[in-house]
Amino acid sequence: MKIVIVDESSIRAAILEEGLREAGFMAVERLSDMNNLLMRIHAIDPDVILIDLENPSRDTLEQMFQVSRIVRRPVAMFVDQSDTASIQASVDAGVSAYIVDGLKKERIKSILDLCVSRFNAFSKLQSELERAKTDLEDRKTLDRAKGILMKNKGLTEDEAYRLMRSAAMREKKKIADIAAAIITAAELLK
């Protein structure tokens, strides 16, 4: 597992690195400079990102949240102090673990495990949500196309569906694609 530590403090970063190495993680890279952070993280392509911020400013937090949103990797953020707004903003940005005043090398492995597990669970939920949205849109498209066929060809709902299904099988396409084509054709012929 490739891990990136984002920390301007060499002392705090050393605690994280030591905890990771003791837990058996050897592919660890540290970024101490915040300039071009997103580009550098993309270049490294880590499996997990650990961000350690002593007393983060709003700008620094926003930059870290951007990293979390864009990179789509498990992110654990360590801060020395926090407020409700920062915690909420980190959750909204997709930070998998937000640890306040918890930088101890003995805890790194369990925090890393929690971070990866939460990220995977959240990713699974997001995928299911996207699949459900797609299915709903496909259903709406299918119903609209059935309506067009029923009106224009005088078919029943079942007959319209069977017609689209057989066209999809014949053309080796998804039925939703056939339905979308029917809708497009109907709009062109208006």
Query: Percentage of the chain with pLDDT > 90?
Result: 48
**pLDDT one-digit tens code per residue, 27-85:** 999 998 877 888 888 889 999 999 887 766 667 677 777 777 788 889 888 887 777 88
On average, the pLDDT of the chain sits at 88
Structure tokens at 94: 């997709």
The predicted pLDDT at position 91 comes to 79
**pLDDT one-digit tens code per residue, 10-32:** 888 898 899 999 999 999 999 98
Residue 104 main-chain phi, psi, to 5 deg? -135, 135
Q: Give yes or no for a contact between 5 and 50, defined as CB atoms under 8 angstroms apart.
A: yes
**pLDDT one-digit tens code per residue, 97-123:** 888 876 788 888 888 999 999 999 988
pLDDT band at 86 (very low <50, low <70, confident <90, very high): confident
Top pLDDT among 137 and 190 is at 137
User: Residue 59 is which amino acid?
Assistant: D
The predicted pLDDT at position 138 comes to 96
Top pLDDT among 153 and 82 is at 153
The predicted pLDDT at position 67 comes to 77
DSSP 101: S
> What angle (nearest 5°) sits at the alpha carbon of residue 107, between those of residues 105 and 111?
120
Q: Give yes or no for a contact between 82 and 98, defined as CB atoms under 8 angstroms apart.
A: yes
- Written as one string, the DSSP assignment of 121-183 is HHHHHHHHHHHHHHHHHHHHHHHHHHHHHHHHH---HHHHHHHHHHHHHHHT--HHHHHHHHH
The predicted pLDDT at position 55 comes to 66
The predicted pLDDT at position 103 comes to 75
- What does the pLDDT average to over 157-181? 96
Domains of the chain: 3-103 (3.40.50.2300), 129-188 (1.10.10.10)
Q: Give yes or no for a contact between 48 and 112, defined as CB atoms under 8 angstroms apart.
A: yes
- What does the pLDDT average to over 145-170? 96
The angle, 0 to 180 degrees and rounded to 10, between the axes of the packed helices 175-188 and 108-153 is 50
